[in-house]
């Protein structure tokens, strides 16, 4: 897209980095510079959404659908696209949502086997709960400096594990700092409440535990709090320590293999299209 936009503007073959002159000329007959720049911007925006999206598949599907619709419109009526380009850009999100609702108003699936209890289905519906100060104090009592140093060294290597499959986990963890760490737990802190909520959300917490255990070889439960909550908890910890009134260390219950099952195909389709648009027969 970038090569086509540059070639349409300059007609200089030496500026092309991927396409050759013949390919650029062929594509410039059906595409215009404004459309190419718009698609480049859309791909850049999509890259940003990948970092924090809970479903990379959903982001990819919606982006491809939007690009395909706009591509057809550009070829059929380039003049119409140019006149309404600003309107499309401002209402891009609403248009894409409407396209999906119109295209897939209702999906019916026929199950090939008897329904089974799926932990993931329950987890999706359970929002994150704020960690109480009492629980934070219990976590701090269970932590030590040596474990914190070890886990900080592990987190420094997150970029090495940022594959397409794992990027949604590494991007979330990179927004945090390790506040404290113990043998079986890690307490994370962040100045972004949305990141804190996401880590504590049960389904994401399951997935992060599995990523930490299998990829980072760190079998520990994750807890997240805001920077303000950590400051308050630290103050309370010092006061309790002076008064010899510290609580007992937290008892960590790790996830079992059964509780970290991957969602089946039905759950994946519900996640993409919305549970209200899927009927099980």
**Does one domain contain both 205 and 258?**
yes
Number of domains the chain is built from: 2
**Does one domain contain both 96 and 127?**
no
- Please list the pLDDT of the chain residue by residue as tens digits (281 residues): 777 777 777 877 777 778 787 777 777 776 777 777 777 777 777 666 666 656 666 667 767 776 666 655 555 445 554 555 555 555 555 555 554 455 444 444 444 444 444 444 444 445 678 899 999 999 999 999 999 999 999 999 999 998 988 999 999 999 999 999 999 999 999 999 999 999 999 999 999 999 999 999 999 999 999 999 999 999 999 999 999 999 999 999 999 876 545 555 666 566 666 666 666 66
Asked if the structure places residue 160 within a domain, the reply is: yes
**Does one domain contain both 71 and 35?**
yes
**Does one domain contain both 170 and 236?**
yes
**Does one domain contain both 193 and 69?**
no
Helix (H, G, I), strand (E, B) or coil at 162: coil
**Does one domain contain both 130 and 41?**
no
**Does one domain contain both 178 and 79?**
no
Q: Retrieve residue 231's tokens.
A: 């400051």
Contact 270, 278 (CB under 8 A): yes
Asked if the structure places residue 237 within a domain, the reply is: yes
Last residue of a domain, one of 58, 77, 103: 103
**Does one domain contain both 128 and 267?**
yes
Task: Using alpha carbons, select from 75, 114, 68, 122 the residue that is nearest to residue 261.
Answer: 122
The pTM for the full model equals 0.51
Residue 63: domain span: 31-103
Task: Using alpha carbons, select from 70, 50, 69, 51 the residue that is nearest to residue 60.
Answer: 50
């Amino acid at each position: 897209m970038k090569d086509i936009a540059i070639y349409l503007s300059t007609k200089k073959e030496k500026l092309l980095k991927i396409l050759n002159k013949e390919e650029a000329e062929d594509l410039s007959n059906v595409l215009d510079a404004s459309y190419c720049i718009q698609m480049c911007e859309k791909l850049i925006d999509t890259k940003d959404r990948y970092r924090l999206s809970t479903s990379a598949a959903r982001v990819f599907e919606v982006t491809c659908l939007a690009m395909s619709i706009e591509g057809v419109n550009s070829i059929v009526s380039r003049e119409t696209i140019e006149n309404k380009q600003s309107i499309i850009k401002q209402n891009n999100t609403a248009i894409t949502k409407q396209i999906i609702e119109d295209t897939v108003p209702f999906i019916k699936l026929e199950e090939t086997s008897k329904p089974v209890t799926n932990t993931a289905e329950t987890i999706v519906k359970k929002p994150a709960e704020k960690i109480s100060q009492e629980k934070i104090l219990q976590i701090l009592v269970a932590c030590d400096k040596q474990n914190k140093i070890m886990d900080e060294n592990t987190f420094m290597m997150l970029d090495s594990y940022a594959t397409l499959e794992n990027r949604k986990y590494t991007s979330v963890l990179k927004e945090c700092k390790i506040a404290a760490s113990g043998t079986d737990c890690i307490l994370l802190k962040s100045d972004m409440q949305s990141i804190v909520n996401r880590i504590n959300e049960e389904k994401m917490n399951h997935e992060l535990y599995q990523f930490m255990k299998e990829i980072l070889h760190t079998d520990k439960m994750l807890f997240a709090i805001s920077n303000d909550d950590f400051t308050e908890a630290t103050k309370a910890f010092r006061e309790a320590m002076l008064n010899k009134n510290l609580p007992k260390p937290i008892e960590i219950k790790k996830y079992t293999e059964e509780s970290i099952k991957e969602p089946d195909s039905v759950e994946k389709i519900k996640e993409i299209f919305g549970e209200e648009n899927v009927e099980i027969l």
